[in-house]
């Protein structure tokens, strides 16, 4: 009987998790995959952050995933601590939506949902229809998994020892909390662990009093994913992960202090135990959110004490472009140049971190690099739009020429960002596929990339100070770079032919050389603009 219960329950749980994944994928695509952008444009208002967290979690169907995203954004400097906390506590509310859905005894819709969803997914002519079909299909699989899981657990009624164990959770709530936390941490999904608890209540295997501590424990267990994501990250990311843990642990302690009255209130919210359990999950997170929103300022200070250090936040959008000064073209051009130099600094940092991914296998830099790429793309557009509008004003011939130079430089910096992203992707591929690089090839890359980084620094410096001598030096170095790139390419092809180098690694090496050489070309373009002034 044990194996029958285990296989059926695991199969149902697997189908449940797969249904959540399919439904989340469909919802994200149907929504235009905007959830990441929503986080990026998050305002400083905590209430908006909470609703953003709810929306994101409904889309990804996992508070753990939403929390990991927040940790990643904090690590990239896109969020301050208050924003991260507001999104995380909103994510805790959003994850209760799944529990609410499965608590209704509507298992009868499982097979029709699978049928309708499959038809839409396979035969839908428009992408939106296929995405909706995928969402419905996932919902059907979710309900089917719940049904199988509940049926698989039903034989446990005959085991008195199992029933006695569950009853201990109502007598000793701390044991239930620890059990719920451990199980959730193990499978890294509070939705799945909540689904198992509701499945137990459907089969009358667990009373409501014993289910409440388990539900409270799931909220603590779900923090494990954010904790893992915060390991090795910067101060902001570690604070976001710590905030998630403190939020849930303190919330559970508060409810535990008034467990009797809280349980009595939840008993009145519905007539069936599954619905009471789902309402408990939702009520706990709403109550917790309200408490922490009231004391958000003090909570943020507490987290800063727990995780000390200096927080750094990347500023998105332009800093120096002001439409109010367009009537004074000289000042406006100066602001645009400052914005461009800021963009250049980000491009240089992006190239440096991309090379770290390639040379040092530092994959933790990838998220930050992706955010810098988005920032560079956005700044290039903002600068060009600003300069285009500025060109409509009356100005001298020299100012008109300067506008053209700034637009050209912005385009070159944006392309440098693209090549840096390519280098990052090559590094990711090299690391994940475990492609071997000879020591000679590794040293060649270090020396060659170092020259490119130095050349880019000189080009930006020459542009900033209109240093024509330095600009001429950059242009002269470009010929050396081209010659060295050809020499390195020929040497590497020879290593491939003599089987000293793995063919797949050889392809990546040659792509890397090509991208670095293109970065040098764009640095040369910037230097040439200095000579034209």
SS (H, E, C) 5-17: HHHHHHHHHHHHH
| 149 to 8, 146, 153, 209: CA distances (angstroms) | 7, 5, 6, 21
Residue 379 has pLDDT above 70, yes or no: yes
Helices 223-230 and 63-75 pack at an angle, to 10 degrees, of 20
Six-digit token string for 128: 């939106």
- Quote the CA–CA distance of 335 and 376 in Å, as a whole number: 17
Biggest distance spanned by C-alpha atoms of the chain: 91
Choosing among 1.20.58.220, 3.10.450.30, 3.20.20.140, 1.10.260.40, the CATH entry for 327-532 is 1.20.58.220
Six-digit token string for 65: 């995933």
Residue 75 is predicted with a pLDDT of 60
Residue with the two structure tokens 């008034």: 258
Helices 96-103 and 81-94 pack at an angle, to 10 degrees, of 10
- Quote the CA–CA distance of 357 and 424 in Å, as a whole number: 6
Cβ count near 272 (within 10 Å)? 14
Residue 409 has pLDDT above 80, yes or no: yes
Helices and strands (H and E) in the chain: how many: 23, 0
Domain definitions of the chain by residue range? 2-306, 327-532
Residue 158 is predicted with a pLDDT of 60
Residue 33 has pLDDT above 60, yes or no: no
Q: Is the pTM of this model over 0.75?
A: no
**Nearest CA-CA partner of 431 in 362, 347, 376, 524:** 362
Residue 150 is predicted with a pLDDT of 66
Cβ count near 259 (within 10 Å)? 14
Six-digit token string for 189: 């999904």
Beta carbons of 141 and 19 less than 8 angstroms apart: yes
For 160, residues 6+ apart whose C-beta sits below 8 A from its C-beta are none
Residue 166 is predicted with a pLDDT of 62
| 3 state SS of 467 | coil
User: 163 vs 57, which has greater pLDDT?
Assistant: 57
Name the DSSP letter for residue 314.
P
Residue with the two structure tokens 């797949």: 504
Name the DSSP letter for residue 520.
H
Mean pLDDT value of segment 446-452:
93
- Quote the CA–CA distance of 95 and 194 in Å, as a whole number: 10
Mean pLDDT value of segment 58-74:
64
Q: Which of the four pLDDT bands, split at 50, 70 and 90, describes residue 511?
A: very high
Mean pLDDT value of segment 277-299:
86
For 79, residues 6+ apart whose C-beta sits below 8 A from its C-beta are 39, 42, 70, 73, 87, 236, 240, 313
Residue 461 is predicted with a pLDDT of 95
SS (H, E, C) 389-439: HHCCCCCCHHHHHHHHHHHHHHHHHHHHHHHHHHHHHHHHHHHHCCCCCCH
Residue 40 has pLDDT above 60, yes or no: no
User: 290 vs 82, which has greater pLDDT?
Assistant: 290
| 188 to 92, 219, 224, 286, 346: CA distances (angstroms) | 14, 11, 7, 22, 35
- Quote the CA–CA distance of 244 and 90 in Å, as a whole number: 11
Beta carbons of 231 and 268 less than 8 angstroms apart: no
Beta carbons of 470 and 461 less than 8 angstroms apart: yes
- Sign of the CA dihedral 450, 453, 459, 465? negative
141 burial via Cβ count (<10 Å: 0-12, 13-18, 19+)? buried
Residue 385 is predicted with a pLDDT of 92
Residue with the two structure tokens 């990546």: 508
Residue 64 has pLDDT above 80, yes or no: no
């Amino acid at each position: 009987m044990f194996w029958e219960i285990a296989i059926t329950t695991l199969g149902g749980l697997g189908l449940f998790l797969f249904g959540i994944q399919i439904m989340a994928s469909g919802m994200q695509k149907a929504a235009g995959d905007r959830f990441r952008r929503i986080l990026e444009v998050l305002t400083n208002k905590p209430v908006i952050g909470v609703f953003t967290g709810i929306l994101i979690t409904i889309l990804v169907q996992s508070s753990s995933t939403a929390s990991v995203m927040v940790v990643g954004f904090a690590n990239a400097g896109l969020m301050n601590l208050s924003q991260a906390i507001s999104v995380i506590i909103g994510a805790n509310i959003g994850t209760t939506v799944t529990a609410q859905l499965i608590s209704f005894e509507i298992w009868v819709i499982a097979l029709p949902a699978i049928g309708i969803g499959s038809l839409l997914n396979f035969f839908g002519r428009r992408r939106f229809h296929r995405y909706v079909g995928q969402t419905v299909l996932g919902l059907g699989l979710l309900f089917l998994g719940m049904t199988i899981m509940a049926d698989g657990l039903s034989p446990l009624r005959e085991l008195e020892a199992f029933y006695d164990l569950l009853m201990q959770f109502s007598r000793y709530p701390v044991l239930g909390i620890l059990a719920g936390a451990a199980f959730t941490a193990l499978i890294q999904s509070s939705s799945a662990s909540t689904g198992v608890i509701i499945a137990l209540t459907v089969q009358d295997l667990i009373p409501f009093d014993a289910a409440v501590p388990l539900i409270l424990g799931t909220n603590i267990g779900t923090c494990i994913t954010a904790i893992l994501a915060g390991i090795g990250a910067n101060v902001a990311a570690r604070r976001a992960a710590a905030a998630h843990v403190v939020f849930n642990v303190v919330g559970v302690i508060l409810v535990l202090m008034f467990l009797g009255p809280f349980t009595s209130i939840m008993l009145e919210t519905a007539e069936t135990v599954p619905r009471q359990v789902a309402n408990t999950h939702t009520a706990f997170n709403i109550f917790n959110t309200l408490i922490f929103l009231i004391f958000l300022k003090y909570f943020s200070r507490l987290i800063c004490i727990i995780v000390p250090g200096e927080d750094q936040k990347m500023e998105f959008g332009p800093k120096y472009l002001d439409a109010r000064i367009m009537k004074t073209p000289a000042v406006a051009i100066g602001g645009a140049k400052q914005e461009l130099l800021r963009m250049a600094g980000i491009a240089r940092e992006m190239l440096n971190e991309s090379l770290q991914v390639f040379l040092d296998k530092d994959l933790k830099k990838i998220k930050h690099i992706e955010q810098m790429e988005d920032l560079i793309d956005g700044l290039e557009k903002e600068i060009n739009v600003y300069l285009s509008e500025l060109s409509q004003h009356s100005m001298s011939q020299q100012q008109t020429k300067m506008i053209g130079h700034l637009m050209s430089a912005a385009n070159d910096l944006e392309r440098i960002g693209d090549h840096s992203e390519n280098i990052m992707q090559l590094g990711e591929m090299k690391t994940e596929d475990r492609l071997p690089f000879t020591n000679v090839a590794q040293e060649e890359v270090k020396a060659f990339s170092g020259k490119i980084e130095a050349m880019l620094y000189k080009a930006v410096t020459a542009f900033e100070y209109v240093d024509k001598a330095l600009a001429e030096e950059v242009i002269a170095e470009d010929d050396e770079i081209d010659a060295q790139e050809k020499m390195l390419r020929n040497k590497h092809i020879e290593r491939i032919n003599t089987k000293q180098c793995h063919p797949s690694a050889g392809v990546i090496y040659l792509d890397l050389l090509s991208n670095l050489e293109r970065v040098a070309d764009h640095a040369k373009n910037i230097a040439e603009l200095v000579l034209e002034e």
